């Protein structure tokens, strides 16, 4: 049903979805930067009315070069007989990486910033390849620009910070994106990867109904919550066992949100990357060939443990610990078919092991944690300087985790 003969209800839905995703992404990204201390914000000196009036114009200026790619370059590539649309998409991303710095008059762009441009081009090009939908991509970019530049005062592309608030970026350029802004930094790239998943399913999300959307979100949150609870419980049991067997003692207790916030920037990306490689690049490939999930997990576990043993400074205990964790995360992946639970298991262990309970992680002592531990006995039970990753108690805790995941898998299958 058209509105005033110009724009259909379906188009308004796409615009609303794109603008909503862009606004939420901008707010979450800003909150994350503030939480991790990468950005500091102060009240601006400019009139809010003036800034908001000019914001749409400034957003449209950033939109124009992208529209040229979406309306001219990408459709032209889709007409070329590549065989598969995704090949045209990757050619478009490569052209975007080459053309956009010149279109935005940017010089001395680093490789990380070019990667950020490529991921942003990929995310915004997906709706066009799948449904010839420029409305979604355009409204996403405009809303994201308004939130980050016009409200918070962060840079975005060639637009300097000019907002209701004044922001000062203090973090590493790799994380904050430098002159291009946080959207093109490491934080933004992780967020764009998330948005890409949502955009790939946006047609189903719009028309499947509230029940289908709520069920999908509930399953994802349930998987992630279960993984966090199980991993936290296992590390807690290991912590109490260390104290009861006098392997270590508590030297001080200092709860701090900074320790948790730091883990989000350092340990969560590690959990995501490691599980992505293990589950998708290893377990999935083996399962496609052998058609058995437990065989795929077993072989992938052997490969992971073998690769770990080939690294300097490893022991049979650290390899066994890696193997048990691989069994737990692999079972979670083949059962649910999603990465929510494997990532939660890995991140929950890393979070509780170091920032919460103060264990050494990977042989490196933890400087900022809630519990400050002092190792009393350097034995195979405590892991010595290597921490739980090389201890029998750590292996037992991970075995308990694997058993809990497998039990959950059997219940879920039934």
295-328 pLDDT per residue, tens: 888 998 998 888 888 777 778 888 888 899 999 9
Q: Calculate the CA 346 to chain-centre distance.
A: 13
115 and 203 together in one domain: yes
Q: Report pTM.
A: 0.54
What is residue 205's predicted lDDT score, i.e. its pLDDT?
41
The model's pLDDT over 158-212, given as tens digits with 9 standing for 90+, comes to 666 566 677 777 766 666 777 777 888 777 887 777 777 666 655 444 333 334 3
91 and 157 together in one domain: yes
CA distances from 364 to 5, 126, 203, 271 (A): 65, 41, 46, 17
The model's pLDDT over 112-153, given as tens digits with 9 standing for 90+, comes to 778 888 888 888 888 888 777 788 888 888 888 888 887 777
151 and 262 together in one domain: no
341 and 192 together in one domain: no
Give dist(CA 325, CA 404) in Å, integer.
12
Give dist(CA 210, CA 30) in Å, integer.
28
What is residue 164's predicted lDDT score, i.e. its pLDDT?
67
Give the residue from 292, 340, 314, 46 showing the smallest Cα distance to 167.
46
Mean pLDDT of the chain: 78
Structure token pair of residue 123: 């995310």
- Pair 28, 149: CB distance under 8 Å: no
146 and 237 together in one domain: no
118 and 186 together in one domain: yes
177 and 245 together in one domain: no
329 and 370 together in one domain: yes
- Pair 262, 368: CB distance under 8 Å: yes
Of 174, 207, 240, the domain-final residue: 207
Number of domains in the chain: 2
Alpha-helical runs (H) found in 186-209:
186-200, 202-207
181 and 305 together in one domain: no
Of 162, 178, 207, the domain-final residue: 207
128 and 18 together in one domain: yes
User: Containing domain of residue 295, as a range?
Assistant: 211-413
131 and 157 together in one domain: yes
260 and 192 together in one domain: no
Of 207, 225, 241, the domain-final residue: 207
């Amino acid at each position: 049903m058209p509105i005033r003969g110009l724009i259909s209800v379906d188009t308004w839905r796409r615009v609303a979805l794109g603008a909503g995703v862009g606004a939420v992404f901008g707010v979450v990204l800003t909150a994350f930067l503030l939480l991790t201390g990468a950005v500091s914000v102060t009240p601006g000196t400019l009139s809010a009315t003036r800034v908001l009036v000019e914001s749409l114009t400034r957003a449209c200026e950033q939109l124009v070069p992208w529209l040229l790619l979406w309306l001219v370059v990408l459709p032209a590539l889709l007409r070329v007989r590549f065989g598969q649309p995704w090949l045209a998409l990757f050619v478009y991303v490569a052209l975007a990486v080459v053309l956009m710095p010149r279109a935005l008059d940017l010089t001395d762009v680093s490789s990380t910033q070019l990667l950020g441009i490529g991921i942003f081009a990929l995310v915004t090009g997906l709706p066009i390849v799948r449904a010839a939908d420029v409305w979604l991509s355009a409204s996403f970019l405009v809303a994201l620009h308004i939130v980050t530049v016009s409200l918070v005062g962060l840079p975005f592309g060639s637009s300097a910070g000019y907002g209701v608030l004044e922001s000062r970026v203090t973090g590493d350029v790799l994380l904050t994106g430098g002159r291009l802004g946080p959207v093109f930094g490491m934080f933004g790239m992780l967020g764009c990867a998330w948005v890409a998943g949502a955009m790939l399913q946006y047609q189903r999300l719009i028309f499947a109904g509230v029940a289908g959307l709520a069920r999908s979100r509930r399953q994802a949150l349930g998987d992630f919550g279960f993984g966090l609870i199980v991993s936290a419980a296992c590390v807690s049991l290991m912590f109490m066992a260390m104290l009861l067997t006098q392997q270590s003692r508590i030297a001080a207790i200092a709860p701090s949100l900074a320790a948790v916030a730091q883990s989000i920037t350092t340990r969560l990306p590690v959990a995501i990357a490691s599980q992505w490689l293990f589950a998708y690049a290893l377990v999935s490939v083996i399962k496609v060939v052998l058609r058995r999930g437990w065989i795929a997990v077993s072989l992938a576990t052997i490969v992971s443990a073998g690769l770990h043993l080939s690294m300097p400074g490893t022991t049979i205990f650290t390899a066994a610990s890696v193997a048990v964790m691989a069994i737990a995360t692999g079972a979670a992946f083949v059962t649910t078919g999603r990465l929510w639970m494997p990532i939660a298991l890995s991140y929950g262990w890393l979070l509780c092991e170091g920032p919460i309970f103060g264990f050494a992680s990977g042989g490196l002592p933890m400087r900022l944690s809630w519990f400050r531990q002092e190792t009393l006995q350097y034995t195979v039970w405590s892991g010595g300087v290597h921490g739980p990753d090389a201890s029998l108690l750590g292996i037992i805790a991970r075995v308990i985790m694997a058993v809990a995941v497998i039990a959950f898998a059997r219940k879920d299958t039934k």
